[in-house]
């Protein structure tokens, strides 16, 4: 299961990097319109912060300190910096998962995130689907607003 999760995270983080790199105009990474309240840039920062916190810091003791509010407040971060953040996140996720033991998957996740206990396996699957959900939003954002 760990190898499968690692492959999925690596695949989707690579897709995130491709999406961010595919914007024709870098300013459009930060564009919002109508009911679209989160820019692609902010979603990218959110995904990186989320994975570095819950996988890197919580499971891998990386020392990462999350500043969740900043993931949505920061604006106009250059695409180059976003890509560097994705690359760092990719390394942190890979290193942490490679050091995880299969038996740890059935253990309780160290943080009670949703008000109920869950296994590490359950929460890692949640994180993979969360990444994929926002990756889809970024793809639509780029195709709709990067004209």
Backbone angles phi, psi at 33, to 5 degrees: -160, 130
> Given this model, what pLDDT does residue 126 score?
98
| Cβ atoms of 123 and 4 closer than 8 Å | no
Q: Which fold has domain 2-145?
A: 1.20.120
State how far the Cα of 37 lies from the Cα of 107, in Å rounded to an integer. Answer: 37
> Given this model, what pLDDT does residue 51 score?
98
pLDDT above 90 for 6: yes
Per-residue pLDDT band for 147 (boundaries 50, 70, 90) equals confident
On average, the pLDDT of the chain sits at 97
Domain boundaries, the chain: 2-145
| Cβ atoms of 41 and 29 closer than 8 Å | yes
pLDDT tens for residues 97-135? 999 999 999 999 999 999 999 999 999 999 999 999 999
């Amino acid at each position: 299961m760990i190898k499968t999760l690692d492959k999925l995270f690596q695949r989707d983080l690579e897709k995130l990097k491709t999406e961010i790199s595919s914007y024709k105009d870098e300013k459009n990474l930060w564009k919002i319109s109508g009911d679209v309240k989160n820019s692609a840039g902010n979603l990218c920062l959110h995904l990186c912060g989320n994975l570095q916190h819950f996988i890197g810091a919580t499971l891998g003791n990386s020392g990462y300190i999350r500043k969740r509010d900043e993931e949505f407040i920061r604006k106009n971060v250059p695409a180059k910096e976003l890509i560097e953040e994705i690359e760092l996140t990719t390394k942190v996720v890979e290193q942490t998962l490679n050091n995880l033991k299969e038996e740890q998957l059935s253990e309780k996740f160290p943080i009670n995130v949703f008000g109920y206990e869950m296994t590490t396996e359950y929460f890692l699957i949640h994180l993979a689907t969360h990444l994929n959900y926002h990756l889809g939003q970024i793809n639509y954002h780029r195709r709709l607003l990067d004209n």
